[in-house]
Amino acid sequence: GEQVEQRPPHLSVREGDSAVITCTYTDPNSYYFFWYKQEPGASLQLLMKVFSSTEINEGQGFTVLLNKKDKRLSLNLTAAHPGDSAAYFCAVRHTGYQNFYFGKGTSLTVIP
């Protein structure tokens, strides 16, 4: 079955620095990719969803890159601020299959 590896498990950066979180997956049928943010004690909120046809996706303060050749998905927070401190999870879904495969998460701390 699908294996989703997320790195690093913990990340600490200073305010204004960039933070990069990476997920690798194994199944070439993976087509839909999602990033979720979970603040302490809260639920998971969708940050961005990415389709296999799009390699670069930009959000507010972050960029998501998809490298299909290497089966790698990355979340790059540019100029991180303390409000970005949270856990981040990637999720992968195959074509024709409804369930997600989640990475184990990255706990990000942004130091003021």
**Binding-site member from 11, 13, 20, 49 for other proteins (CB under 8 A):** 49
What tokens appear for 6 in the block?
A: 């997320």
Print burial letters for 22-49: b (CB count within 10 Å at least 16), e (below 16): bbbbeeeebbebbbbbeeeeeebeebbe
As a whole number of angstroms, the distance between CA 45 and CA 29 comes to 25
- Residues 6 or more apart whose Cβ sits within 8 Å of residue 41: none
Please tell me whether residue 31 binds other proteins under the rule CB under 8 A. Answer: yes
Tell me the closest approach of the beta carbon of residue 91 to other proteins, in angstroms.
Answer: 8
Least distance from C-beta 42 to other proteins, angstroms? 7
Q: Does 11 bind other proteins (CB under 8 A)?
A: no
Select from 12-20, 45-53, 59-67, 78-86 the region that touches other proteins (CB under 8 A).
45-53
Q: Which residues bind other proteins (CB under 8 A)?
A: 6, 9, 31-32, 34, 36, 42-46, 49, 51, 89, 91, 93-100, 102-105
